[in-house]
Amino acid sequence: MKSTTELAGRQGRIQVYAWTPEEPTCVILLAHGYGEHAGRYEHVAGRLVEEGAAVYAPDHYAHGASEGERASFDSLDDMADDLAAVGYGAAEAYPGLPIVLLGHSMGGIVVTLLAQRDPSKWAGLILSGPAIGGNPDLLGLLALDPIPEVPIDPAILSRDLSVGEAYAADELVYHGPFYRSSLQALSDAIDAIAAGPDLGPLPTLWMHGSEDELIPLEPARGAIDALVCSDLESHVYEGARHEIFNETNQDEVLDRVAAFLARIGATKG
């Protein structure tokens, strides 16, 4: 079952999507990436519901159907606060169920910030092309004045070109240049993650495309290594681009998520 609700976020009204099975075995809090919206993850949520997960996904502030000027923000901590509030609501709806964090790209920063606050609170962390290591070329735009208009090229998202075409046609996706405040917020959050603390024994699944141009593999790998997870499972998909949940091998990626959830006891497996 799919439903939508609203909550009063740190900086404005937040729209929240929920996909729920009849008898869930866990809750997943899903954080989408920069400029997009949670509705693009309906197929991901559908597969996770089949595994027994109740999936909750807000449109971040300044994204999708939530309030705020599209893609203009100054804090990812506020986004983490909003996701935590969604989690409180889910915990009330399903008391006692394990809660897993899942974040893609910028959403990977959001869930990592939240996990670092109290790793023991979560049953697991799933990171898809996480931006926690940044992109030197992208963040280097902060040194320029004015910042040149370099919007995200839809062609770099997936080897399935229809993904980029749908992205370009999606009216809820932001297609403009980067705001300085948003780039600074991303940079500040990446620095905060690097400063620690580590995630200790929190089970973590990291997945990345080898040909990810938006969030390059090696900076992400360095950031993951610095988190010093004692329970880290990593998978690099050869040839895959940035949106591995929308890649030509997306079934393989979703199978991996399902296996991880079963391994950590979040689903019946």
Residue 248 lies in a domain: yes
Residue 226 pLDDT exceeds 80 = yes
pLDDT of residue 151: 87
Mean pLDDT of all residues in 66-92:
97
48's enclosing H/E stretch is helix 42-50
CA-to-CA distance for 91 and 24, rounded, in angstroms? 12
**pLDDT single digits (tens) 156-191:** 999 999 999 999 999 999 999 999 999 999 999 999
Q: Are 135 and 242 in contact (CB under 8 A)?
A: no
Q: Among the options 105, 128, 158, 182, which is catalytic?
A: 105
Residue 57 lies in a domain: yes
Residue 54 pLDDT exceeds 70 = yes
Is 210 a catalytic site residue? no
Residue 268 lies in a domain: no
CA-to-CA distance for 131 and 91, rounded, in angstroms? 27
Q: Among the options 59, 78, 82, 212, which is catalytic?
A: 212
Is 37 a catalytic site residue? no
What share of the chain has pLDDT > 70, as a percent? 100
Report the amino acid identity of residue 116.
Answer: Q
Mean pLDDT of all residues in 19-32:
97
Residue 127 lies in domain: 2-263
pLDDT of residue 236: 98
Provide the domain count of the chain: 1
CA-to-CA distance for 31 and 17, rounded, in angstroms? 11
CATH at 109: 3.40.50.1820
Which pLDDT band holds residue 91 (cuts at 50, 70, 90)?
very high
Mean pLDDT of all residues in 62-83:
98
Residue 85 lies in a domain: yes
- Supply angle C-alpha 9, 11, 121, rounded to 5: 45
Is 72 a catalytic site residue? no
The model's pTM is 0.97
Tell me which residue of 223, 246, 222, 74 sits closest to 156, measured CA to CA.
Answer: 246
Residue 269 lies in a domain: no
Residue 269 pLDDT exceeds 70 = no
Pairing of strands 99-104, 53-58: unpaired
Tokens 């995200």, residue located: 152
The mean predicted confidence, pLDDT, of the chain is 96
